[in-house]
Structure 1
Amino acid sequence: MFTKIYFEDYTEQTVRDTIGRTITETDIVLHAGQTGDFFPHHMDAEWCKTQPFKQRIAHGTLIFSVAVGMTASQINEVAFTYGYERLRFIKPVHIGDTIKVKVTVKGKKEYKNPAQGLVTELVEVYNQCNEIVMACEHILLAQKRLT
């Protein structure tokens, strides 16, 4: 479970995929309770029937949180999340949708501390119809190997 993947070990265009996870009503209710976001888009099935999307939609922040968790399969002792950029919620996710995540190493660059580098991963979330529902860039701050 613990590993050491240094800046030099990341290779551009390397891809990793997750298994699927189905979004449930419980996920939505728990997320609403944690965040205080009880907007009718997420909580009111009858109101949603009158809207173009016709059914409740998962919070974008829920899908982001679940997707990030799905990609966390190992603990890298020498790289840490520096942040996320360009977060977009492209299509709604509904109760019963199954999402999968594809992570592609998009680029690497030097950092102000010469002992570290920045790795950018493209994170793409797809539903069961293989439609992209969310995308963002995950920035890692990775240690370099000592030479």
Structure 2
Amino acid sequence: MVVIEQHFENYEIGTCRLTFGRTITEADFVIHAGQTGDNFPHHMDAHWCATQDFKQRIAHGTLIFSVGIGMTASTINPHAMSYGYDRLRFIRPVFIGDTIRVRATITEKRDHKRADMGVVVEAIEMFNQKDETVLVCEHLYLVARKHPLAPPTRHEP
């Protein structure tokens, strides 16, 4: 891990990061099912899946989300923390043997109710080995400001 010290003011719209690929394995399916209790046949029953539209097991959406987000975690910024995720969508299925990679792009900066913090929005796009989008979401970061905003002034009637 690399430590970077970056305040809200330092983030630039359009900054983009791209990860290396990671191949999804059957072990990933089994471990994720064991950790979450999600043993639905869509993920775990190869014979049943052979009778369905995709003809094979599909990865848990939460597995792909977790692995993909983990792939983007390459730096530690003591001035920022994850604030959550918005607009999460599973676009295409991921299968055993597919290789995913992630592009993360800063798309927005906005004020937070705390004058000493701001919100940085990063668009997350996950792709398979065919460059098809498989998952999208927005990752929100709560980031300390180097220079806090002045508190709003109150106007008396």
TM category, shorter: over 0.9
Offset of residue 77 of structure 1:
0.6
Offset of residue 146 of structure 1:
3.9
Rg larger in 1 or in 2? 2
SS at match of 1:82: strand
**2:155 counterpart residue number:** none
Alignment of 1:143 onto 2:144: yes
AA aligned opposite 1:123: I
**1:98 counterpart residue number:** 99
Q: Distance in 2 between matches of 1:122 and 1:8?
A: 18
SS at match of 1:16: strand
Moved over 2 A (4+): none
For normalisation by structure 1, the TM-score amounts to 0.98
For normalisation by structure 2, the TM-score amounts to 0.92
AA aligned opposite 1:115: D
Which structure 2 residue ranges, 5 or more long, are not aligned?
A: 149-157
Offset of residue 27 of structure 1:
0.3
Across the two proteins, how many residue pairs are aligned to each other? Answer: 147
CA offsets per residue over residues 23-58 of structure 1, 9 Å max, x none? 000000000000000000000111101000110011
AA aligned opposite 1:3: I
Q: Distance in 2 between matches of 1:106 and 1:4?
A: 20
CA offsets per residue over residues 67-115 of structure 1, 9 Å max, x none? 1100000111100000000000000000000000000101000111111
